[in-house]
Structure 1
Amino acid sequence: MKIKLKEDVLKNQNKAAAFNRELFQKTQTFVINLMSSPGAGKTTLLESTVKALRDEFKIAVIEGDLATERDADRLRELGVDTVQINTVGGCHLDARMIAKKLPEFDLEKVDILFLENIGNLVCPSGYDLGQDYKVVVLSVPEGNDKIPKYPIMFRRTDMTVINKIDLLPYVSFNLKEAEDDLKTINPDALFKTVSALTGEGMEEWIRWIREGYQTCVAR
Structure 2
Amino acid sequence: MGYDFSITHYLKTTWTMARYDYRYIVKNPVFLILTLVGVLFIILMASTIGTIFGTSTYPVTWKMLMIPGTTFKFFLLILTFLFSGLLVHRGSITRMGGLLDATPVPNWTLMGSKIIAIIMMQLTLLAVVMLTCMAFQVYHHYYNFEIGQYVIHLMVYGMLGNIVWLFVAIFVHTLFKNYLAGFFILLTLFIGLPFLSFVGVEQAIYQFNKGPDLDYSDMDGFGYILPF
TM over 0.5: no
- Larger-gyration structure (1/2): 2
Q: Which has the higher strand share?
A: 1
Q: Which has the higher helix share?
A: 2
